[in-house]
Amino acid sequence: MQLRPGEPDLPLKSSLTIASLTLSSFRNYDSARIEPSGGLIALCGHNGAGKTNLLEAISLLTPGRGLRGAAFDDLVRTGQDRGWAVAALLDGPVGEVRLGTSWQGGGDGEPVSGNSREVRVDGQVQRSAGALAEHVRALWVTPAMDRLFAGPASDRRRFLDRLTATFDPSHGTRVNALDRLLRERNRLNSEEHFEARWLGSVEAQLAQTAVAVAAARNDAIAAVRSFITNTRARDSERLFPWAEVIVDGELEQQLIDRPAVQIEDEYRTLLLDSRGLDRAAGRTLRGPHRADLLVSHGPRQMEARLCSTGEQKALLIGLVLAQARAVRETFGGVAPLLLLDEVAAHLDGVRRAALMDELLELGSQAWMTGTDRQLFEAASSCTEIYEVADGQITPVGPEQETA
Ligand SMILES: Nc1ncnc2c1ncn2[C@@H]1O[C@H](COP(=O)(O)OP(=O)(O)OP(=O)(O)O)[C@@H](O)[C@H]1O
Ligand SMILES: [Mg+2]
pLDDT tens figures, 298-325 = 988 999 999 998 889 999 999 999 999 9
Predicted pLDDT at 233: 67
Cα torsion angle, 270, 217, 225, 56, sign = negative
* C-alpha 376 to ligand 1 mean position (Å): 22
Domain 147-329 of CATH type 1.20.1050.90: yes
pLDDT at 86 over 70: yes
Residue 13, SS3?
A: coil
Q: Find the ligand nearest to 51 CA.
A: 1
Predicted pLDDT at 7: 44
Predicted pLDDT at 265: 98
Strands 392-395 and 138-141: unpaired
Q: Are 297 and 241 in contact (CB under 8 A)?
A: yes
Q: Which atom of ligand 1 is nearest to the CA of 74?
A: 1
Among 237, 364, 246, 239, which Cα is nearest to 294's?
A: 246
Mean pLDDT value across residues 196-213: 96
Average pLDDT, the chain: 90
Long-range contacts of 151-154 (CB under 8 A, 24+ apart): 153/290, 153/291, 153/292
Closest C-alpha residue for ligand 1 atom 29: 48
Q: What is the arrangement of strands in the sheet containing 292-297, beginning at the earlier edge strand?
A: 243-248, 292-297, 302-303
Q: Are 168 and 216 in contact (CB under 8 A)?
A: yes
Predicted pLDDT at 82: 83
Fold of the domain built from segment(s) 1-137+331-403: Rossmann fold (3.40.50)
The answer to whether the CB of 49 is under 6 A from ligand 1 is yes
The answer to whether the CB of 370 is under 6 A from ligand 1 is no
* C-alpha 208 to ligand 1 mean position (Å): 42
* C-alpha 76 to ligand 1 mean position (Å): 12
Residue 166, SS3?
A: helix
The answer to whether the CB of 336 is under 6 A from ligand 1 is no
* C-alpha 391 to ligand 1 mean position (Å): 9
Angstrom distance (rounded) from CA 399 to CA 392: 20
Q: Express each pLDDT in 356-365 by its tens digit.
A: 999 999 999 9
Predicted pLDDT at 2: 44
Whether this model's pTM surpasses 0.85:
yes
CA distance readout (Å), 68 to 52, 134, 155, 341, 376: 9, 22, 12, 11, 24
* C-alpha 287 to ligand 2 mean position (Å): 35
For the chain, domain boundaries: 1-137+331-403, 147-329
